[in-house]
Structure 1
């Protein structure tokens, strides 16, 4: 089982810079690391945002399903570490859509 490095990246903390750098270095990183970005996690991030705004357990369940489905697309035989990075896994940025703190993020 490969290691999974989960970087939900709080908003406005340099997450986009990390993601751009990883994307630019993807060729060099490829022998050691697989990368998943927001565009690989669209169903999960959509539900993470909904959950942060509404707190609906159905959205949390759908978040878990979407996240699991995205991770399952990765080859389980590939022993390289898998880095998953998306600030949208934290839901909406506090101050938007009624979210006031990161306590609203999916657990």
Structure 2
């Protein structure tokens, strides 16, 4: 059995590859079992909990939840798991500054999978992008999903020292060793017809001859325009109630105002 654990990072094309997995799920199903964030609610709750608390009890819960998931995989030939929150909260949310908790989280997850399924060939896959692009994408996400009041420049200055995804990927690779870790450039992956999905399929050795039957998907989470970003910041900084701010943001995101 081959298992791919695609665990992030946030804002590195994860939604796009998950959409591709979802779109092609039935075609891949005879040979590849797919697990996405909605299939992993207990485990993701535990990873987010630990990234906030760093409490050993939450780490133990990660091991338990992972083992529960792994038990369901015994009868599958190949498995692809993709959920960016498997490395914890997105930095900048809920007082989480960086991915400092991610190496321990993924050490715990890979350990539980290897213990539950000792014959499985497990590979960790991570996607990265340049620091400045990644920070701006995170800022946009926070502006849309939380009451972010900082300007883009303020946010980039504050989190500039937390944006080296290549270094974090190295720390994760060290933490999960001897389980192998493969790191992919999110932007370079766009050159492939199926995007990052092609790389994940390579890991599980899905034949290239069968891939013409798979449907490519468009890039997801295309960012708002500069005018929309300015309007979102204005809404977040307003004196409106949280309920009204949520409604106003939704209208802006949908382009109805």
Same-fold status (TM-score > 0.5): yes
Give the equivalent residue in structure 2 for 1:14.
13
Give the equivalent residue in structure 2 for 1:69.
68
| Larger proportion of helix | 2
User: What TM-score comes out, normalization by structure 1 length?
Assistant: 0.90
Query: For 2:56 and 2:3, how far apart are their aligned partners in 1?
Result: 25
* 1:26 aligned onto 2:38: no
1:1-107 correspondence runs (5 A):
2-74=1-73, 76-78=74-76, 80-105=77-102, 106=105, 107=107
Q: Which runs of 4 or more aligned residues in structure 1 lie more than 6 Å from their structure 2 counterparts after TM superposition?
A: none
Superposed CA deviations along residues 37-64 of structure 1, whole A, max 9, x for unmatched, are 1111111110100100110010011011
Superposed CA deviations along residues 59-93 of structure 1, whole A, max 9, x for unmatched, are 0110111111012122x133x21111111111100
CA displacement at 1:97 relative to structure 2: 1.3
Query: For 1:69 and 1:95, how far apart are their aligned partners in 2?
Result: 30
> Which secondary structure does the structure 1 equivalent of 2:100 belong to?
helix
How big is the alpha-carbon RMSD for the aligned residues of Structure 1 and Structure 2? 1.1
Give unpaired runs (5+ residues) of structure 2.
108-257
CA displacement at 1:31 relative to structure 2: 2.6
User: What TM-score comes out, normalization by structure 2 length?
Assistant: 0.39
Q: Computing the radius of gyration over CA atoms, which structure comes out larger, 1 or 2?
A: 2
Query: For 2:75 and 2:36, how far apart are their aligned partners in 1?
Result: 20
Query: For 1:77 and 1:38, how far apart are their aligned partners in 2?
Result: 21
Query: For 2:22 and 2:44, how far apart are their aligned partners in 1?
Result: 19
> Which secondary structure does the structure 2 equivalent of 1:48 belong to?
helix
